[in-house]
Amino acid sequence: MLNKQKILIVEDNPDGRKLIVLYVKSCGFEVFEATTGLEALDQARAVHPDLILMDLVLPELLGHEAMMRLKADPSTREIPVIVTTALPESSASVESAIAAGAAEVLYKPFSFKALSEAIDRYLPQPNDP
């Protein structure tokens, strides 16, 4: 039985996005994609995902800026955002994302196990122990 929960994956790197999309789909989630910060805002408002996985280094609008806008919008503010980034923990973008309300940060490269555990923290499955 397919899980009807929706995850928006925001990643501008096509190879990285494809891997995450394939994995998340294999877990039974409905997946939506965005490649820019502005596209992420549009997609979040249009599909109202249950969770967003967002890179921080994005064209048009950086991830932490997109997240600040999502958290300021009453229609999207409650959506948990897991930041995915290769930036160091001490970077201003990571600090801004945390200050804006990131649920957590996954540092690249991360394993599928780490991704799955992060998703489960926000979207627990009925068959989870």
pLDDT at 129: 45
Domains of the chain and any CATH numbers: 6-122 (3.40.50.2300)
pLDDT at 110 over 80: yes
Q: Tell me if the bond preceding 109 is cis, omega within 30° of 0.
A: yes
Q: pTM, whole model, 2 decimals?
A: 0.92
Model pLDDT for residues 33-83, shown as the tens digit of each residue: 999 999 999 999 999 999 999 999 999 999 999 999 999 999 999 999 999
Three-state DSSP state, 9: strand
- Min mean pLDDT across 58-67, 88-97, 99-108 is at 88-97
28 backbone φψ class: left, alpha, beta (φ>0; ψ -120 to 50) = left
